[in-house]
Amino acid sequence: MGRHTVLLLLLAFLTLREVIPVPLALRALSNLHRSASFTSRPAVPTKYTVHYLQQKVDHFGFTTDKTFKQRYLLADEHWKKDDGSILFYTGNEGDIVWFCNNTVVCKYLNNPSLSDAQLLENIFQALNIYYNYSGQARCLNISETTTSNLGTQGWSYQACTEMVMPFCTNGIDDMFEPRSWNFREYSDDCFKQWGVRPRPTWITTVYGGRNISSHSNIVFSNGELDPWSGGGVTKDITDTLVAITIPEGAHHLDLRARNAFDPTTVLLARSLEVRHMKQWIRDFYASQRKKH
């Protein structure tokens, strides 16, 4: 990291500005066991301070004015105050500490005049931070592109084949540089990277688009702290096409492993999801018995 640089990292921290009233049904789950053994993974020591800002959940629509406490890390040890430049670095769905620790890689690669042997050693040290930040790995798995929980290359391929999502911006109604949607350009980029062409109508053809009433056994979970929930299924369609709204839930939080910081509404959502799935299994075997 450069001498006149301050590092900021952002990650959604799942805490509402105001206390959400908890329905009686949710209070009944307050005695659910919350594991006290949850610990964050060890990381490379890095000098930073932790701060929070009150952030809007949805920057693209006007259907909700909810906010949450967004966590960011500030590292200003080498920042020249008043007129120093600022490196603003945003994380994504990964661990914010993981992102922060990986930025110290640069200190091993800032001297091009080193001997070949020392340069090779420094490359190893840099890779060790990226792939062995816990200090527990015996062998570095350099095939990983990010954390073991999130593969960016896998998503890129899926977006280039099944999940084609047009995006366009005008710089007036949004916070991005103007850019129009060009499917041909997008298709060419996909072909250059993966050797495949997108199928823009595949998902609606196979799954029916908005007309899914003939489907069954699906739970649509919507975290109200997840901006994607604005495009989600938020009402039950049939007895087996069920929508679950999670007031304190962020992006697929209910699908992650349980830990001591889970809000009660997330615990309830997981309980309901399991209940529905068990019922589907019972219904299936009941239908099989009737056939015989």
187-246 pLDDT, tens digit per residue, is 999 999 999 999 988 888 888 888 888 899 999 999 988 878 878 899 999 999 999 999
The pLDDT-based confidence of 279 (bands split at 50, 70, 90) is very high
Would you say 11 and 76 are in contact if contact means Cβ atoms under 8 Å apart?
no
Question: Which secondary-structure segment (H or E) carries 181?
Answer: none
pTM greater than 0.85 (yes/no): no
Matching residue, tokens 């009944």: 28
Cα 248 to Cα 16: distance, rounded to the nearest angstrom? 7
pLDDT of residue 74: 87
Q: What average pLDDT does the segment 166-195 reach?
A: 90
Q: Which two tokens stand for residue 47?
A: 């000098």
pLDDT tens-digit series, residues 90-126: 656 666 776 676 667 667 777 778 888 888 888 888 7
Cα 230 to Cα 176: distance, rounded to the nearest angstrom? 20
Q: Domain locations in the chain?
A: 1-149, 211-292
Q: Which two tokens stand for residue 154?
A: 């896998």
- Give, in degrees to the nearest 5, the angle at Cα 87 between 90 and 5: 145
Half-sphere exposure of 258 (CA within 13 A, CB side): 14
| Terminal alpha carbon distance of the chain | 69
Cα 16 to Cα 55: distance, rounded to the nearest angstrom? 10
**pLDDT score of 67 more than 90:** no
Q: What average pLDDT does the segment 66-83 reach?
A: 82
